[in-house]
Amino acid sequence: MKTNKNHNQIIKAKTTYWQMAKAMWQKLKLRDSGLIPFCFVYTVFATVYPLLGVFLPRMLIVQIEQARSLVWTGGQMTSTQTKIFINIGLILLIYFIAAAILGGLSTYISNLSYARLSYLRLDFISDCNHKVMTMDYYHYEDADFMDHAIRAMHATQSNNNGVEKVYRQVFMLPAKLIAAAALLVFLGLLDLRLIILPLLSLTAIYYALNRTDAFIFKQRQEISHATRRLYNYSEITNDFTYGKDIRLFNLKTMIIDAFNKMIGDRIRQLKLSSGKRFRYNLFPLFFQIASTIVTLSFLVSKALAGQLAIATFAFYLSSYVSLNLIFEEIATALNDISNEGRYVKEMLDFINADLNQQSGFEQVKISDQIKIEFKDVSFHYPNSDQLVLENLNLTLHNREKLALVGINGAGKSTLVKLMTGLHHPTSGSVLINGQDTKNLDPKSLFKLFGVVFQEEKPIAVTVAEQVAGSITEIEPNRVEQVLARAGLLSKIEIEPNGIETNLLKVLDKDGLMLSGGETQKLMIARALYKDPQVMILDEPTSALDALAETEVYQDFSRALKNKTGLFISHRLASTSFCDRIVLLSGGSISEVGTHQELMQGQGEYYEMFVIQGKYYQEEEK
């Protein structure tokens, strides 16, 4: 099946570290090439700064030793004594000034680069969002795929992981490498054996960090589904529309229990990874202790033998200590690049994956007439073999008002997804004016339809922006016209800002909160504003009572005028005015005809209509 092909492409890891480096370099050059000279300047300052702590103390000790060698008789200082004190003062002054300047500039450049590197991360977030919004719709209904998408987006979650962490470590790594190389040369000039154990220690630290983070990465992959569930619960608790249900049905306990269970699982995993980290860290700790003992023993023996002056001893000791500290930073940086690179590679796999049909689509042939045909259509969802629709044949004629009715789960909404190109048939064809939807440009196809689905939610923008589907291209008169046709203008007009009223209270404390039925009318207005050839109502008024739904459907049918309309409902009375009614049952067409014809036939439609009629009569009593 076509859907499985694309899904497998993203699951397969393709991006190498070299390709990752190229992609990040291209993004840097494209979005902020000015960071490159920033990196060079930072490298100079950040390299010299730690070396000051090695050289200047040696110079200071030399002066102190010279001062101690003089005979102090009291009284006025000699010129030599004065010179020594001046030298000591100058060394301290130079050290503090240089440390302040170099340290301050390094910190300033580093902090400034952090903000600019954050913009690069935001740009990758934009790439991910663009991918999500343009990929074929069926991926949303594939749980395995969505787990992978969540893992891919981990690389852009914060400033301290993924893309931004890799950029920052690469930004700071050259200074560490140059400083380490200089210190290795200093120690190597004394004795090459002094650099062997620090290098082994560096390797051991990197190995321990990498093994631990590889374990954590594997854990994160295994719990991606649970992580997505946790995100879902978080969205529920932050969504005002769930507030009434949570309180009236006492869902708070259920949600908190679910949270606690998932958090408990997460804590157990953290304990496991902490245990792994502790065991792995014992390995480099051994090398660090051994290296320190051997190096100190060597330097002390040289000093006691008179082969090293005190100043020289201090120089090599501080060089060794600084080298160990820098090696730890290098090991951490290399590990971060390697480990966080795993997440970046998953993100790039996602961004670069082919999640759409192949290019070369046909454009929909523009015509005043439209005819939509389902020919022997069968369909099942990804990762499922159960057919939702089976060998379905149906034609929607130009300007026809067709009703699609049936119980929940009969396949009504699935048929809409196939018609609009959100899904493609497992077998058979959906034709629009003779063109197979599989071969049509999705953007061209989507323009034909104005669809109002069940339980749609507005976003936190103005009423006008919601209806127009745009922030800049809005025609206020058209907005008011479609709101009137949807029966919502009177509600909006009484607001102080009219169609410029903000929706929801997420961003505006005075935002307008619409009821369920009013929200659906808003979505109907949005579909009307689009001015499509085919209008589809997929039970958008299910939040209304039966009589109100019938009235909305009939009003909307009149508003469509000469357009083609598809009305979907499980309430049969709401669609009795339609030109033709199709009853779906078990994924197949059970009955077709006008309301009068189906009632006269006294088949399944008739029985459902009578049962629903009794139910609504009892409801009204």
- pLDDT of 620 > 50? The answer is no
Query: Percentage of the chain surpassing pLDDT 70?
Result: 85
* 55-71: average pLDDT: 72
- CA nearest 372: which of 445, 423, 441? 445
pLDDT in tens, 191-203: 888 888 788 888 8
pLDDT of residue 616: 54
**Average of pLDDT values for 563-589?**
87
For 213: left if phi > 0, alpha if psi spans -120 to 50, otherwise beta; the answer is: alpha
Per-residue pLDDT, 619: 46
pLDDT in tens, 321-369: 888 889 888 988 988 898 889 889 989 999 988 887 654 478 888 788 8
What is the rounded CA–CA span in Å between residue 264 and residue 209? 25
pLDDT value at 423 more than 80: yes
Which of 355, 354, 350, 356 shows the shortest CA–CA distance to 20? 350
Q: Is 43 in contact with 174 (CB distance < 8 Å)?
A: yes
Six token digits for residue 327:
């090696």
Q: How confident is the model at residue 471 (pLDDT cuts 50, 70, 90)?
A: confident
pLDDT, position 549? 67
pLDDT given at position 92: 78
- pLDDT at residue 18 in the model: 93
Report the interhelical angle of 251-304 vs 196-222 (nearest 10°).
170
Give the mean model confidence (pLDDT) for residues 170-177.
91
H helices within 386-495, ranges in order?
412-420, 442-446, 463-468, 476-485, 489-493
The yes-or-no verdict on residue 245 having pLDDT over 80 is: no
Instruction: Over range 363-386, report the average pLDDT.
Output: 88
Query: Do residues 139 and 417 lie in contact, with contact meaning Cβ atoms separated by under 8 Å?
Result: no
Within 10 angstroms of residue 190's Cβ, the number of other Cβ atoms is: 18
User: Which segment of 39-48, 205-214, 264-273 scores lowest on mean pLDDT?
Assistant: 264-273
Between residues 428 and 521, which one has the greater pLDDT?
428
Q: Which of 13-27, 138-152, 223-237, 447-461 has the highest mean pLDDT?
A: 13-27
Please tell me the predicted confidence (pLDDT) of residue 4: 43
Six-digit token pair at 186?
């200093």
Tell me the pLDDT band of 5, cut-offs 50, 70 and 90: very low
Average pLDDT, the chain: 82
Cα distance between residue 142 and residue 384, in whole Å: 10
| Helical ranges in 494-531 per DSSP H | 516-529
Residue 472, both tokens: 């800049």
Range of weakest confidence among 207-221, 346-360, 437-451: 207-221
Inter-CA distances, 418 with 144, 375, 378, 411, 437, Å: 22, 12, 10, 11, 9
- Say what the pLDDT of residue 69 is: 63
What are the structural domains, with CATH classification, of the chain? 14-352 (1.20.1560.10), 397-456+533-621 (3.40.50.300), 459-513 (no CATH)
Contact 447, 364 (CB under 8 A): yes
Tell me: pLDDT of 6 over 70.
no
Q: Tell me, what's the pLDDT at 76?
A: 58
Query: Measured between alpha carbons, how far is residue 167 from residues 154, 172, 206, 417, 437 in Å?
Result: 15, 9, 19, 42, 43
| pLDDT tens profile 124-166 | 999 999 988 888 888 887 777 877 788 888 889 888 889 999 9
Q: Any idea which residue has 């607001």 for tokens?
A: 495
Q: Are 173 and 206 in contact (CB under 8 A)?
A: no
